[in-house]
Amino acid sequence: MSSTPTLHLTVGLPGAGKTTRARELEQAHGAVRLTPDEWMIPLFGLRWTEFDGKRDVLEGRLVWVGHQVLRAGTSVILDFGCWSPEERYALRAIAGLAGAGFEMHYVSLPEDERIRRATARWREAPEEVFEMTPEDHARFHGQFTPPTPAELDGSPLPPPPAPFESWPAWASERWPSLPRLDA
Ligand SMILES: Nc1ncnc2c1ncn2[C@@H]1O[C@H](COP(=O)(O)OP(=O)(O)O)[C@@H](O)[C@H]1O
Ligand SMILES: [Mg+2]
């Protein structure tokens, strides 16, 4: 095993294949996989439209755990989706704070196939993933900003948006349950 741990981030819309990829990474790297969907239903039940905000609380704590695991020398997979570049920049900055490497794993499919797989998966395992309507899928597609080639190549991090002094500061606002990791 390499001595430098890596933060692996899966990026993409529901059904695109993130968790499948995350499981492969877990096997290949002996990494700890943190998949919020596996926590949301046991913690909060099946009606996902009712718990806006709870996912942010959960993700913030998973980022915090992930940072601790990286510092302990083990690779981590945050199987989050990460629809915005700011989220991806912030998590890359946090990997850097932990002295870890960073790898983004972007998965994408044509929309019809992605929605077909997401729907089939829900039918097979309704206790593991949430039901999504065609309207949900269309909304998610509109909210997703795919990584640019520069982002995928690991070009230098841009500065955080004002008024944040650092990406970890931005992250603690985005995920309020995440302590300031650079304080
Ligand atoms: N190469 C593939 N061909 C067909 N189905 C696949 C493939 N990869 C994954 N799937 C299935 O597609 C569904 C969605 O994959 P998953 O990895 O759970 O996506 P995500 O985590 O992005 O929502 C799952 O039922 C999975 O088994
Ligand atoms: Mg998944």
User: Please, where are the H alpha helices in the chain?
Assistant: 18-29, 37-44, 54-71, 85-97, 111-124, 134-143, 149-152, 167-174
Report the residue count for the chain. 183
- Alpha-carbon distance of 9 to 15, in angstroms, equals 16
In this structure, which residue's CA is closest to atom 8 in ligand 1?
17
Residues with CB under 5 A from ligand 2 (ion): 18-19
Query: pLDDT tens digits for the chain (183 residues)?
Result: 457 999 999 999 999 999 999 999 999 999 999 999 889 888 887 666 556 688 999 999 999 999 999 999 999 999 999 999 999 999 999 999 999 999 999 999 999 999 999 999 989 988 777 788 999 999 999 999 999 999 999 899 999 999 999 999 999 999 999 999 998
Domains of the chain: 6-174 (3.40.50.300)
78 and 9 Cβ atoms separated by less than 8 Å: yes
pLDDT value, residue 104? 97
> First vs last Cα of the chain: how many Å apart?
31
Query: Hey, which of 9, 117, 121, 122 would you mutate to test ligand 1's pocket, going by the most ligand atoms within 8 Å of its Cβ?
Result: 117
- Provide the phi-psi class of 139: left if phi over 0, else alpha when psi is between -120 and 50, else beta: alpha
Strand partners, 103: 8
Cα of 114 to ligand 1 centre, how many Å? 8
- Alpha-carbon distance of 144 to 11, in angstroms, equals 10
pLDDT value, residue 156? 93
pLDDT value, residue 60? 97
- Provide the phi-psi class of 75: left if phi over 0, else alpha when psi is between -120 and 50, else beta: beta
Nearest ligand to the C-alpha atom of residue 17:
1
pLDDT value, residue 49? 58
